[in-house]
Homo-oligomer: A and B are copies of this chain.
């Protein structure tokens, strides 16, 4: 398999692919925080190994092989996060950095065991799907809370942002996966939304928050 560095490039490529079909060297360089010559060099190596399609001056694409390799890393990352939360008792805001290290462990047994021990979970602690060993997962069709009409009843299912800062904000507001929310008014001026959930009635969430919450309408 790949070195840790190459695994990180593959992962970055996978996430960039979710936004656009064709990836620029510059974008990859920014995500990886390396210079353009560095990314240029690396891209040639990834191409040589069949993980990406690359031609001079053309945008990049992950090959099928590359996508599969990337999914294995995402799988290891998300299984690790779930294990850290469910089995080891970490908070959902603590696990990203640890999983960032665990995802590069080669011993597949470790992850298969985590998976088994947790009963083959389908999502990580932030609601992101955990790919199976073939890199497949079902992509649920959630809406952003900001897209839901007034007076709807929804359940929080996933987060579009899993940064520590956002997670700590959600902790403070008592919001977690599974929380049932009723939407009231949307303020036209700043698109903030008044909602009720759990012990919070008539509390206001900014659009920056409602844009980061993925919900299922019930």
Contact = CB atoms under 8 A, between A and B. Distances in A.
Contacts of A87: 87
B90 A98 contact: no
Contacts of A34: none
Interface of A: 84, 87-90, 94, 97-98, 101-102, 105-107, 109-110, 113-114, 117
B117 A109 contact: no
Contacts of A106: 101
A105 B88 CA distance: 16
| A interface, over-half SS | helix
A122 B106 CA distance: 28
A94 B117 contact: no
A113 B88 contact: yes
A101 B26 CA distance: 33
A84 B112 CA distance: 13
Given A102-B105, A105-B102, A117 B97 contact: no
B88 A117 contact: yes
Given A90-B109, A98-B110, 12 more contacts: A84-B110, A87-B87, A88-B110, A89-B113, A89-B117, A90-B113, A94-B109, A97-B107, A98-B107, A98-B109, A101-B105, A102-B105
